[in-house]
Amino acid sequence: MSHSDSQQAAMSCGAPAGSAANAAVASGLVSNTTSEPSVGLGAPVFNTGQMRLSRMSYNVKTAATFHDAELRRRIRAGQRWAPVMITLTYRPGVDPEPRHISEFLQRVRKWMKRRDEVFRFVWVGELTQRGVLHYHVVTWLPAWLRLPKPDQQRSRAIPGTSRMVTDPAFWPHGHTRIEWARAPIGYVAKYASKLQSKGLTQATFPRGFRIFGVGGLDTEDKERRAWANLPGWLRDHVTPAYRMLRISGGWVSRETWDFWPSIWRLGRVVMAGTSALISLIPAFPDSEIPCPFSFASPK
């Protein structure tokens, strides 16, 4: 990226971002509409649980959209691909552990790699009303490839030998269901919305458990997803090519080494159940957008 590109991005900095509340919305934060006046945090006030859910919903929908767009591009090129929905549940008596979903993804990724394919996926965790954990996974497969039943062991021959080995089940902890997905983005959005409607947050999951994950994006889509997760005010001034990195006090571009200070500083924090209510205070006069300054590029 050229220096002129960096200058062009900074041309509109220094302009007021509007009121504190409006600037907060523009920054991609989720205002807390149910906070009690007695907490005395001032405005704007944000609920960390709601922020986690919004971030989860946005991430899984964005990744699913990228994966689906790549699928459609390949279909137009003459390849046949199809999205698949997988549900992973626990059998009674099995205690869920955070590593279970990671091990499942790792086993499927290795299985795909042996077939020279990339494992593209999005997953969302969910708790039933009784607090039972299960997972919903969407993956994109070439039409000729059929994923084995995840809860069954598989035997395979070792290349160049007559020996057979038995691989563990992708998901040995309970039952699974596989079905073709006609509308994968809608499927992901459905379960993301269910989490939001329940008010379910990462804090209500057992300690150490994640509520979502994505994988298999190419480099360009990873950069686009990272850009999409930037605060709204910063997205107005940089492109995905800037490859922004969050550091203390703001963000720095890994391409231009421009540093953008955050327009917010933390005010007060009040615990509210499993979440926290936080107030953010504008870090600059009139909530103006700060101009970046450059670091020296490392040798």
Across-strand partners of 135?
88, 125
98 C-beta neighbours (distance < 10 Å), count: 13
Q: What percentage of the chain exceeds 90 in pLDDT?
A: 26
Helical H segments across 14-154, by residue range: 20-26, 48-76, 99-113
56 class by beta-carbon count within 10 Å (0-12 exposed, 13-18 middle, 19+ buried): buried
Q: Confidence class of residue 295 from pLDDT cuts 50, 70 and 90? A: low
Better pLDDT: 50 or 172: 172
Q: Give the residue-averaged pLDDT of 94-110.
A: 94
Question: Per-residue pLDDT tens for 126-176?
Answer: 887 777 889 999 998 888 888 999 998 777 777 777 777 778 899 999 999
Residue 139, SS3?
Answer: strand
Query: Is residue 22 predicted with pLDDT exceeding 50?
Result: no
Cβ(280)–Cβ(24) below 8 Å? yes
Question: What is the residue-averaged pLDDT of the chain?
Answer: 77
Q: Using CA atoms, how far apart are residues 261 and 195, in angstroms rounded to an integer?
A: 33
CA 236, 239, 243 angle in degrees (round to 5)? Answer: 125
Cβ(191)–Cβ(124) below 8 Å? yes
